[in-house]
Amino acid sequence: MTDRIEKSDAEWRAQLSPEQYRISRQRGTEPAFSGAYWDNHEDGVYRCVGCGTPLFDASTKYDSGSGWPSFWAPVEPAVVEETEDRSHGMRRVEIHCARCGGHLGHVFPDGPRPTGLRYCINSASLDLGPRHT
């Protein structure tokens, strides 16, 4: 993993749209079935909106029925970090970009094979672009 990115709150606010800031820097959540990528079927790589780190390949995306983009694995385990989230009266595993700390969403143990995981991600935390070789 590359060097960690640290920015001030003012720098994040200047870089991100208000919705991207609310979700990625303040641990927000977009409403189900509202994000740009929940029903997107384009090929490519989903990158962190904060730092551009490749997070999820479109080949691992699937329709979970949840209303958020869902993936069965990140491009590599080191690109995401997990923390316990006990907000909203639930016990979940929150995931963040390992490089800039941006909130991405949550991971659940109810996904498809081969991992059995469902990485449920906010569209506002992602940018979809072509694969770079």
State the sign of the Cα–Cα–Cα–Cα dihedral 112, 118, 122, 126: negative
**Distance set, CA 13 to CA 7, 9, 19, 26, 113 (Å):** 10, 6, 10, 11, 38
Whole-angstrom distance, CA of residue 25 vs CA of residue 27: 6
Reported residue count of the chain is: 133
Output the six-digit token pair for 127: 């940018």
Active site residues: 120
Task: Please answer whether residues 125 and 105 qualify as being in contact, where contact means their C-beta atoms are separated by less than 8 angstroms.
Answer: yes
